Amino acid sequence: MRNLPIPGVFATRWHKSFQAYCADKRGLAAVEFAMIAMPFFLMIFGTIELAVIFIMQAILDNAAAEASRQIRTGQLQTAGLSQANMETRFKDSLGDELFGLLDPNKVIYDVQTFTTFGNTGGGITYDTSTDSIDQSGFGYNFGGQNDIVVVRVFYEWDLIIPVLSAPLKNPNLSDNKTLLQATVAFRNEPFGNS
């Protein structure tokens, strides 16, 4: 017959080993950090993503307001430029105000003239074949003196962290994008024709 340990002795040894293992605190911080690292970094990167979006939105708002000033004061309309040159100058002015942080070639803008402030509404429609904004109804009418003008500027921002972008992604746009939009509504000054 084999010499088997007495059940009580084996249990006591196992119990002492288990207690020693549980009392050992070396590496505990690494294990605890490993448990919270993923949610912690997701929260940090999500906060950074949201901050970047807010900063880019503020830059787009400022660019739209500053570029629209040329329309409101009549600088574009009284410069003796063709419609195409006025559009180019407006778009260049808009691009200059983006400080190189947004690609001016990806900016979409719409300038419309209205008779009253009450009928300046109009939503955005999307082209499902290209997964982008439908620009077919957009125009570039800078108006004359005392006209009501609405300038809308759009930018399809590529989200940096696609995993975190589910609540931010625009379902009408492709490839993890969200839409930044700035709108400026004003009445042109009585700048005359000189």
What SS3 class is residue 25? Answer: coil
Question: What gap in Å lies between CA 47 and CA 45, rounded to an integer?
Answer: 5
Render pLDDT for 164-193 as a digit per residue (tens, 0 to 9).
677 777 777 877 888 999 999 999 999 865
Mean pLDDT of the 65-69 span: 97
pLDDT at 114: 92
Contact 151/122 with Cβ under 8 angstroms? Answer: no
Mean pLDDT of the 3-21 span: 67
pLDDT at 92: 95
Q: Is the pLDDT of residue 17 over 60?
A: yes
For the chain, the structural domain boundaries read: 7-187
Helix axes 28-72, 83-96, angle to 10 degrees: 150
pTM of the model: 0.80
What SS3 class is residue 157? Answer: strand
Residue bearing the bigger pLDDT, 21 or 75: 75
Contact 57/63 with Cβ under 8 angstroms? Answer: no
Mean pLDDT of the 128-132 span: 81
- Name the average pLDDT for the chain: 86
